[in-house]
Amino acid sequence: MSPPTTPAAIELTAAAVKDLDDVLIWLAARNPSAAEALRESIDSVLTTLATGMLHGPASTLASGARCRRFYVHPLWIYYQHIPGVLRVLRIYHHARTPLE
């Protein structure tokens, strides 16, 4: 049995906060319970990603930044693990032009 992993702090960039706010506000206006369920799913995935026990595929953004991404329908979460921090770069709707 492996020792428990201490979760990293979760840090969202301003762009990720705006991305998430925009999609949740849009969805809440149409289906509040779906917006809450999506928020809970994202929180759960971020908590799991922060442990380092789960990783999405590596990705390179158009800016050249290296990161990983993880899918929570209908959103891609683009993130980086840095010592002690899970930095969320973007939370991006899958139907938009890809960031990569």
Give residue-wise pLDDT tens across range 19-70: 999 999 999 999 999 999 999 999 999 999 999 988 999 999 888 889 999 9
Strand ranges of the sheet holding 85-93, from the earlier edge strand across to the other edge: 9-12, 85-93, 75-82, 66-72, 58-60
Secondary element (H or E) of residue 82: strand 75-82
Q: How confident is the model at residue 97 (pLDDT cuts 50, 70, 90)?
A: confident
Task: Give the number of domains in the chain.
Answer: 1
**What are the φ/ψ torsions at residue 67 (nearest 5 degrees)?**
-160, -175
Q: Domain of 43: which CATH number?
A: 3.30.2310.20
Q: Is residue 73 part of a domain?
A: yes
Largest CA distance in the chain: 46
Structural domain containing residue 54: 9-93
Domain assignment of residue 26, yes or no: yes
**Amino acid identity for residue 12 in this structure:** L
